[in-house]
Amino acid sequence: MYQGKAFTLTRLPDGMAELTFDLQGESVNKFNLLAVSELGDVLTALEQAADIKGLLVTSAKEAFVVGADIMEFGEVFAKGPEGITDHLAENNRNFCRLEDLPFPVVVAINGFALGGGMEFCLACDYRVASERAKLGLPETKLGILPGWGGTVRLPRLVGVDTAVEWIASGKENDAPAALTARVVDAVVAPDKLREAAVFTLQQCITGKLDYHARREQKKAPLQLNFIESMMAFETSKAFVGAQAGRNYPSPVTAIKAMQKAADKSRDEALQIEAEAFAKVAQTPTAQALTGIFVSDQLLGKKAKSWEKKVDKKVSRAAVLGAGIMGGGIAYQSALKGVPIKMKDIAQQGIDLGLAEANKLLSKRVERKRMTAHEMGEVLNRIEPALTYDGFDQVEMVVEAVVENPKVKHSVLAEVEARVSADTIITSNTSTISISYLAKALQRPENFCGMHFFNPVSLMPLVEVIRGEQTSDNAIARTVAYANAMGKKPIVVKDCPGFLVNRVLFPYFAGFSMLVRDGVDYQRIDKVMETWGWPMGPAYLLDVVGIDTAVHAEKVMAEGYPERMQRDFTAAIDVLFAAGRLGQKNQQGFYDYQTDKKGKPEKRPSETALALVKESMTGNLEITDEDIVARMMIPMATELARCLEEGIVETAAEADMALVYGTGFPPFRGGVLRWIDQLGAAKFCAMAESFRDLGPLYLPPANLTDFAANNKKFYGWK
Ligand SMILES: NC(=O)c1ccc[n+]([C@@H]2O[C@H](COP(=O)([O-])OP(=O)(O)OC[C@H]3O[C@@H](n4cnc5c(N)ncnc54)[C@H](O)[C@@H]3O)[C@@H](O)[C@H]2O)c1
């Protein structure tokens, strides 16, 4: 009946028809502009066919429909409120026409039905899902809200509480949970899906199931009286608002749209939803969060293209050093199914590494994310070792011994002699040059950096660092291994600090100067946390370790003397001299006490405040806005410089490295996107006003060029 590039419509026996979504040239189905337009044509064909008794909706892909095409958002959102509502209206008309067809519609949900894909399902009369299906409305995670009827049909179908939970959390739900929530009508084994959906459709056709009643329910106002409505919406707005925080407004906006539309019929409610959508879509938060999504896709694509070049999969790995990092790396590798030898020189180190893995796995078992049997299997994949026996069997080595160039040189040479000629050796060093470490090796081409972040189990980023002689093969295998470990690898060039520390230390330098000039570090923490950072700089320094920070800062100053050499005694020097090393010895800028859950709890420290006060040489009065500027400008100029120097290839990777490596607030979309949102000219003018603070406040050439020519790091996205 219809054959397009996204949809096919065919006749089935007994007067039924089947609409199959199979977007050509794509691995998943999504509602791009083409699919939306074709669906309109399909509906015309269906409306004109006089002899159809019922419609079955299916997907020919493994995922049912993953949603709207987010890659197109930039173009659509740039059209302004009217352009956005027009865009929404086209598919809303489609879904309403589907819902208004003169015969029943049943959808067979075989896999992911997310966002627009789920809204497509909601427009159908009955939903039959495979046990493998996953359903959800993740729009609020992107700073937007469902725009194709999700906020309208879901509450009318399953009630306000479930709708709020699904929409505000944005989370994916498995098929049984969707059945319990009555979002789907049946869940069956994957091989029974089609049969069950056809059976349901037949029941509708014969009148055993009243699909008309379903439709009426979805098209009518919500069946709540005023008091019930107030209770449901007001309570959830307060709760969701507190959970999401003021930087993520879209969940509450979605609830408000549902509330405003509660006493309206479908078509009026859709109008309210569209207006709310257009409003949030224009916010910098939506821009940032959808931008992050797009950048993450780019990271995935780049990692995949490296994986294609891999000569050998990593089936066995080894880590040298069973300390904080080595233990974490062994845990992560074993958790994701890659057996790993964990070698240390001391049994005590091994015991600590294993204890850490045990602790993390026990937590998983406690939270029912893993069975005790599975925990045993993971632990079995970690093979503790005090010798190099069996190292000739591994495809990958990660060196994570103490941060000492001499020790690392000797350990690297030692391990190279014990592995096979094509084993890739990597180092988790945070401050030592990869090209320098490679000097200890006979086969420097098989060596690169593999820089994990602490704690390894939680931090997604892995910097894969290319030294002067590193081969593509070494990079490819390391990227593939990082992927296999469930991490986000980003390939960067060797330089002091690599990418993340190179830009983090200028940020710390900004902090040191603020404190020197007399600003209370607790206030700086508060201001930066309000700005969005998960922890302020003083707190972060405590977590990093004051000793580590002092050491790393020296390395950075040697690497970039013109910008990073400091000529004053900073707060970290004073704390270090007083033996306050941060969280590791429970005293740094703050005091720490272990709480009931075993987590360090932060308290203000009179001792630290007094010590730091001694190092202050000024008495600066400053606005919160200037605190942010003085903190962020050094980080931003250095990141732009890294891009200019080709340390990192793209703005997207530069920004994602900070999001995944430091917890930079996702709603700001990245440091370079922050510059874009401010405008490079405004950023440069702001930097100029702080030029007396030194060269970290001078924008590099790419930024001044952007400012002069009104350029941006990103297009709309
Ligand atoms: N801790 C962090 O936050 C962090 C973050 C990123 C990178 N790193 C880097 O990771 C590496 C390890 O750091 P860490 O914090 O885990 O240190 P750590 O002191 O906790 O652990 C080092 C381990 O290496 C072992 N070791 C020493 N010499 C060895 C040898 N010859 N062979 C095998 N094992 C040996 C020690 O016994 C110890 O168990 C360092 O290069 C560090 O710069 C650390």
Return the closest-CA partner of residue 344 out of 422, 399, 421, 405. 399
Residues present in the chain in total: 717
429 CA closest ligand 1 atom index:
41
Segments of the chain with pLDDT less than 50: 716-717
| Whether residue 349 has its Cβ less than 6 Å from ligand 1 | yes
| Whether residue 551 has its Cβ less than 6 Å from ligand 1 | no
Residue 57, φ and ψ in degrees, nearest 5: -110, 125
Q: What is the best residue among 402, 504, 556 to mutate for testing ligand 1's pocket, by most ligand atoms within 8 Å of CB?
A: 402
Return the closest-CA partner of residue 99 out of 79, 117, 120. 120
Q: Respond yes or no: is residue 551 known to be catalytic.
A: no
Q: What is the DSSP letter of 594?
A: E
Q: What is the best residue among 401, 414, 662 to mutate for testing ligand 1's pocket, by most ligand atoms within 8 Å of CB?
A: 401
| Whether residue 429 has its Cβ less than 6 Å from ligand 1 | yes
Q: Which residues contact 299 (CB under 8 A, 6 or more apart)?
A: 488, 489, 490, 652, 653, 656
Among residues 87, 373, 409, 451, which one is catalytic? Answer: 451
| Whether residue 325 has its Cβ less than 6 Å from ligand 1 | yes
**Ligand 1 center to 496 CA (angstroms):** 19
pLDDT digit string, tens, across residues 371-419: 999 999 999 999 999 999 999 999 999 999 999 999 999 999 999 999 9
| Whether residue 344 has its Cβ less than 6 Å from ligand 1 | yes
| Whether residue 324 has its Cβ less than 6 Å from ligand 1 | yes
410 CA closest ligand 1 atom index:
31
Burial (CB count <10 Å: 0-12, 13-18, 19+), residue 551: middle
CB neighbour burial string for 162-177, b if at least 16 within 10 angstroms, e if fewer: bbbebbbbbebbebeb
| Whether residue 329 has its Cβ less than 6 Å from ligand 1 | no
| Whether residue 611 has its Cβ less than 6 Å from ligand 1 | no
Q: Which residues contact 674 (CB under 8 A, 6 or more apart)?
A: 632, 636, 668
401 CA closest ligand 1 atom index:
24
In this prediction, residue 50 carries a pLDDT of 84
Global pTM value: 0.90
Q: Which neighbouring-strand residues pair with 599?
A: none
In this prediction, residue 717 carries a pLDDT of 37
544 CA closest ligand 1 atom index:
3
Q: What is the best residue among 325, 502, 543 to mutate for testing ligand 1's pocket, by most ligand atoms within 8 Å of CB?
A: 325
Strands 186-188 and 600-604: unpaired
Return the closest-CA partner of residue 331 out of 459, 206, 209. 459
Return the closest-CA partner of residue 137 out of 126, 152, 22, 129. 152
Asked if residues 643 and 654 have their Cβ atoms less than 8 Å apart, the reply is yes
